[in-house]
Amino acid sequence: MAEPLTTLTSLPMPLIRDNIDTDQIIPSREMKSTGKTGLTDGLFAGWRYTEIGGRTPDPDFVMNDPVFADSQIILGGKNFGCGSSREHAVWALAEYGFRAIIAPSFAPIFAGNCVRNGILPAILDTDAISAIDRSRAQVTIDLPAQTVCIADGQSWTFPIDEEAKSMLLEGLDAIDLSLKLSDDIAAWQKADRAARPWIYLGANA
């Protein structure tokens, strides 16, 4: 389970580039395990460090700017998270501490992986993202209201389907979401056992 997400206030880190793919989020050479931890050093490694495979921070990359050291929100460009379906990209973002990405569009598989790992993929148009970037101010995301606000009073709404919203609000992954229906599942199994007893011959349950 992830930490439930209701409201989030943070200075957003601007990474407004179109078509940021999962290999740029975490290069394959940085994926040294199948677990969800130990990935933060590899996050944006190709841009974050001065040399491939090295760990010397590139001062020109936004993630190394101390101003954005505590950012929990990324401002992105179109088609964020395209490329391969590797879930390591989202695991690395979540482990680092990002809880939301605001972009004009997302690759569908990446967006689904975000939701399952407690990261909100919020869709706003390019004008809204430019306004947020120009403000250089903290952003408040209100997930129940589906709004993004900045200090000068500007506010935008973003779409999200009800299942994804519920998963983020309650900190659920796909298994947790299924377990919410455990009573319905048990009732169906009981009825099916009565209707088709031969299916369950030899079953322990």
Rounded average pLDDT per 10-residue block, the chain, 205 residues? 93 98 96 90 98 96 97 98 95 97 98 96 98 97 98 95 95 81 89 91 68
Looking at 39-129, which runs of residues are DSSP E strands? 73-76, 100-103, 120-123
CB count in 10 Å sphere of residue 82: 19
- pLDDT, position 203: 66
- pLDDT, position 204: 61
Euclidean distance between CA atoms 141 and 132, whole angstroms: 12
Do residues 81 and 25 touch, judged by C-beta distance below 8 A?
Answer: yes
71 to 30, 33, 172, 175, 196: CA distances (angstroms)? 22, 26, 23, 29, 55
State the pTM of this model: 0.89
- pLDDT, position 201: 87
- pLDDT, position 179: 81
- pLDDT, position 133: 97
- pLDDT, position 176: 79
